[in-house]
Amino acid sequence: MGRSDLTIPVKTDATLWRSLQAMSLTRIIIAALLLAYFSFNGSKIGWLSGQVVYPKICIAYLSVALAFTVFSTYFRRRFLLQLSAQVAVDTLVISALYLIAGGAKSGLAILYLFPLAGAAILAPLVLALFFVSVVTLFLLAESGYRALTLDGDAFLMQAGLYGAAFFTVIFVVNRLAASLIRQEHLATRRGTDLQVQQAINRLVIADMGDGILVVGRDGTVLMGNPAAEQMLGVADLGRKPVWRLDDIPSFAPISDAFLAWSIRSETLAPGSAETPVFVFIKPAAEAALTGATTIWGGRRELLSHVKLRFVAVDTGTARIARTIIFLRDVSEIENQAQQLKLASMGRLTASIAHEVRNPLAAISHAGALLQEEVRDPVSTRLLNIVADNVARVNRMIEDILNLSRKAQLHGDPFMLLPALADIIKEFEEAHRLPAAMIALSGSNASDTPDLQRVRFDPMHLREVVVNLLSNAIRYASRRQASIRMRVICDDASRLELHMQDDGPGIAAAVRSHLFEPFHTTSSKGTGLGLYLARELCLNNGAMLDYEYRVDNVGQHNGEASGRFVITFAAP
């Protein structure tokens, strides 16, 4: 079967046009060499007629070759027509030189291979064989004519051999070229399909909510999707130079789980997966400090509960073994479950608040009356226990009810420092604190008033600050400035409120549950204070974090000291 199946569309394959241009450049070189050869050796050959005709033919051929080159470069239409015209001109010029040079004895018949090979490579088989047939008939006719009319020195056998050789070479070259062009088209289609599939894969992987890590057998991180970068707090996971999971201390749980899985995976078939592993991780240092102030250089306790799933890639060789780690942050799922739990509890509390408060009020009133009458210490202690627990239950109901109250952000942004000063003043009066125990500082420049304003529900802000101050006075030394509050502006032009006391820092075991509801270290606490404060901040577009550092100076003696940071949303 010929290359008739290879159709030349209106916009021909770029490879064919490049090949046609290469053929045109080769034609220029051949024409220039012929002109130089006949110019220097024409007199030695002794062909008197050729001394005048040869240079003219070669100059005309060189001019036509230049025209063909320009035409094929800037006019990429009608490929077969351009190719046929060029091969026809080549054939005519070589035939003219062949006749003038004396026919077969000149040896110029070999020049026919140039246009015929070009036709065999770029044209269908039928067209290529047509040009071969024309050339062969011309050679046989010229040799027969010389045998009949001239000296009888016939070169019919040589012309026949040239024709047979041309047919064989052109057929073989045409078949090889057709095969190569088909392979190139197939490779192009496969490459296009692969590029489309890669684009789809990149889009799907980039848009996945689950994180994906591709690691080597030694834990080297080769690549990851945006979800994994956000989850781990590392930008450009496949960065150079390469790094391993155990290079970052906060990724130690992932590295340990991967090492344990690698040992067990030797008995697993490629592509199989084990039971998922759940670990707690903390974002990398550069991510944990994103948005935090570099003045203090602290670390924020942002633990994430992550589900890990390992799948081995069947690469065919252990030398380039790859493993895909799927990461899913189940913290959000747990938070949603906790939200549903608290929402149900809030609705339940709201429905029975009135019924519960009335009995609590009666119990509290009865206890107060009994305290006025009893005198023995045992009864007084029991009544105090009753009063404390009544107050605790009432406070728990109030906290849960506050969670259901939405923020009122319809008002204009207000200046943060004056609002904090009013809250601190009321708090000091209510708790009868020593003067200057709470120190408030921050920039309140009149030339940048917009940078000192926040959009926050005033009642929510009061509850959050009072909650944090109530926790602080439990551990502060009550000396001057033992509780420090500072308002600063971070790199993103957002206001931050830093609150720190001079008491002992929060232990690591407590930090991991700091904002969980109903988790408390105080016998009189409800465990809802910090959780309520964070939820109120989120309800107002802000964020409450605990930022800590290890301080080797002073009374802490290597213990972690920390502060609470409220990052307000831009007004």
* Interior angle at CA 402, CA 400 and CA 408, nearest 5: 155
> What average pLDDT does this structure show over 111-115?
83
Locate 115 and state its tokens.
């246009």
Please check the confidence at residue 567 and state whether its pLDDT lies above 80: yes
Instruction: Kindly state the average pLDDT of the residues 76-93.
Output: 83
pLDDT score of 75? 81
> Residue by residue, what is the 3-state secondary structure of 152-201?
CCCCHHHHHHHHHHHHHHHHHHHHHHHHHHHHHHHHHHHHHHHHHHHHHH
The C-alpha atoms of residue 393 and residue 503 are separated, in whole angstroms, by 28
**For the segment 236-293, what is each residue's pLDDT rounded down to a tens digit?**
666 666 778 877 777 888 888 888 888 877 765 555 556 788 777 766 644 333 333 4
- 3-state SS of 486-500 is EEEECCCCCEEEEEE
Nearest-CA neighbor of 256 among 310, 329, 299, 209?
Answer: 310
Which has more pLDDT, 274 or 323? 323
The dihedral built from the CA positions of residue 160, 163, 167 and 168, taken in this order, carries a sign that is: positive
Whether 294 shows a pLDDT value over 50: the answer reads: no
Q: Which of 414, 427, 403, 432 is closest to 535 using CA atoms?
A: 403
> What's the number of CA atoms in the CB half-sphere (13 Å) around residue 222?
12
pLDDT at 308 over 80: yes
- SS3 of 350-413: the string is HHHHHHHHHHHHHHHHHHHHHHHHCCCHHHHHHHHHHHHHHHHHHHHHHHHHHHCCCCCCCCCC
Amino acid sitting at position 89: V
> In 3D, which of 34, 99, 101 has the Cα closest to residue 61?
34
| Other C-beta atoms lying within 10 Å of the C-beta of residue 534 | 22
Does residue 347 or residue 35 have the better pLDDT? 35
pLDDT band, very low/low/confident/very high, at 537 (cuts 50, 70, 90):
confident
Section 216-222 average pLDDT: 83
Task: Please tell me which of 47-51, 204-208, 296-300, 421-425 the model is most confident about, judged by mean pLDDT.
Answer: 421-425
Mean pLDDT of the chain: 75
Is the per-residue pLDDT at 448 higher than 70? no
Q: Is the peptide bond before 241 cis (omega within 30 degrees of 0)?
A: yes
pLDDT at 542 over 70: yes
Q: What is the reported pLDDT for 295?
A: 39
The listed CATH number (3.20.20.10, 3.50.50.60, 3.30.450.20, 1.10.10.10) that belongs to domain 208-329: 3.30.450.20
Has residue 519 got a pLDDT over 80?
no
Do 414-567 and 208-329 fall under one CATH topology?
A: no
Calculate the alpha carbon distances from 111 to 84, 97, 135, 444, 525 in Å: 17, 10, 11, 92, 103
Burial class (CB in 10 A: 0-12, 13-18, 19+), 144: middle
104-124 average pLDDT score: 80
Angle 113-122/79-100 helices, nearest 10 degrees? 160
87: left (phi over 0), alpha (psi -120 to 50) or beta: alpha
Whole-angstrom distance, CA of residue 74 vs CA of residue 215: 50
The CATH number of domain 414-567 is 3.30.565.10: yes
Mean pLDDT of 458-479: 86
What are the residues whose beta carbons fall under 8 Å from the beta carbon of 557, sequence distance 6 or more?
none
Q: Give the pLDDT of residue 402.
A: 61
Angle at 22 between CA 18 and CA 24, to 5 degrees: 115
Mean pLDDT confidence for 329-357:
69
Q: What pLDDT score was predicted for residue 263?
A: 81
Residue 54 has pLDDT above 80, yes or no: no
Task: Report the C-alpha gap between 62 and 206 in whole angstroms.
Answer: 58
How many Å is the Cα radius of gyration of the chain?
A: 45
CA neighbours closer than 13 Å in the CB half-sphere of residue 142: 24
Q: What is the mean pLDDT of residues 459-481?
A: 86
C-alpha torsion sign, points 346, 352, 357, 362? negative
User: Could you give the angle at the alpha carbon of 363 between the alpha carbons of 531 and 392, nearest 5°?
Assistant: 15
- DSSP 3-state of 455: coil
Residue extents of the structural domains in the chain: 3-193, 208-329, 335-403, 414-567
Q: Can you tell me the distance from the alpha carbon of 383 to that of 565, in angstroms, rounded to the nearest whole number?
A: 40
In this predicted structure, which of 292-296, 309-313, 556-560 has the lowest mean pLDDT?
292-296
Residue 408: its pLDDT value, please? 57
pLDDT digits (tens, 9 = 90+) for 29-51: 887 887 777 666 654 444 434 45
Residue 211 pLDDT: 83
pLDDT at residue 285, rounded to an integer: 44
- pLDDT tens digits along 132-170: 888 888 888 887 777 777 655 556 777 778 888 888 888
pLDDT of the residue at 291: 38
CA 207, 213, 219 angle in degrees (round to 5)? 170
pLDDT above 70 covers a percentage of the chain that reads 74
pLDDT at 172 over 50: yes
Residue given tokens 């079967």 in the structure block: 1
